[in-house]
Amino acid sequence: MTVQETPVSAKLAEDIRRRCGENAMLCYQCKKCTSGCPVARDMDVAPHRIMRAIQFGRDEAVLNSRTIWLCANCETCFTRCPQSIDIPRIMDAAKNIAKDRGIRCRVPDVATFYNLAVDWINRTGRVYELGLMGEYNLRTGKPARNMDLAIKMFRSAS
Ligand code: SF4
Ligand code: SF4
C-alpha cells in the first residue's frame, strides 16, 4: 500500500499574518474558541477548524466557507484563546483575501452589510446605524425590514 502525502502550504497563514499580524500557526486545537462562539452552530466550519485549515494551507475550505462571513467579531474566542490569537482579525483577513481573489461570498447579505459598513466608515469616519440599516434594507430589497426596531432605536437616540 502506498502512503499518500498530504500537501501542506504555509502561504495562506503567511498572507494572513502579513495582513493582520496574527499567527494562526500558534493554534494547538484546544477548541476553546469554538466552544464559546455564539455563532458556531450556524457556521459550516467551526472556528478551530478554520485555524487548522489555515495551518494546512487549505485555502478553499477557509475562503469558501460561510464561517468567515458569519463571524460577528464579538471577540469571545479571542478572550478565551490560551494562545491569545485574535481570531476575528484572522476572519477579517480571510474575508479580504477572498475578495481579492474574486471568491464569491457564501452569505451575500452579510457581504452587503459588511461592504456598506466599511463604506460608511470611509465616507464619514463612523457608522450611522439608522442610515446604514436603511441603505442595507434598500440594497437587499426589503425596505421595511426591522422598521419597528429602527423606530425604537431612533426614539431612544433622540
Ligand atoms: S469573534 Fe467570531 S469566531 Fe470569535 S466567538 Fe465571536 S463570532 Fe465566534
Ligand atoms: S482557542 Fe486558540 S489555541 Fe484553542 S483552538 Fe481556538 S485558536 Fe486554537
* pLDDT-derived band at 148, boundaries 50, 70, 90: confident
Residue 59, all three cell numbers: 485555502
Domain that holds residue 121: 108-157
Residue 125 lies in a domain: yes
| Ligand nearest, relative to CA of residue 48 | 2
Average pLDDT, the chain: 91
Question: What digits encode the pLDDT tens for the residues 62-78?
Answer: 999 999 999 999 999 99
1 lies in a domain? no
Q: Are residues 47 and 93 in the same domain?
A: yes
Nearest to 92 by CA among 19, 8, 2, 13: 19
Choosing from 20, 28, 30, 86 the residue with most ligand 2 atoms within 8 A of its CB, the one to mutate for a pocket test is: 30
Cβ–ligand 2 contact at 83 (below 6 Å): yes
Res. 132: pLDDT tops 80: yes
Same domain, 59 and 122: no
More confident position, 100 or 158? 100
Q: How far apart are CA 80 and CA 44, in angstroms?
A: 21
3-state DSSP: the chain helix, strand, coil percent, rounded to 5? 60, 0, 40
Angle at 89 between CA 40 and CA 109, to 5 degrees: 60
Domain boundary pick from 56, 81, 100: 100
Over the stretch 9-66, which tens digit does the pLDDT of each residue have? Answer: 899 999 999 999 999 999 999 999 999 999 999 999 999 999 999 999 999 999 999 9
Report pLDDT for 8: 80
Give domain status of residue 134, yes or no: yes
Rounded CA gap, 70 and 108, in Å? 11
Answer yes or no: do 35 and 65 share one domain.
Answer: yes
Residue 1 CA to ligand 1 center (angstroms) comes to 42
Specify the amino acid at residue 148.
D
Task: Look at residue 151 and tell me if it is in a domain.
Answer: yes
pLDDT at 154: 74
Rounded CA Rg of the chain: 18
Q: Which of 57, 80, 100 is the last residue of a domain?
A: 100
**Distance between CA 12 and CA 17 in Å, rounded?**
9
2 domain residue, yes or no: no
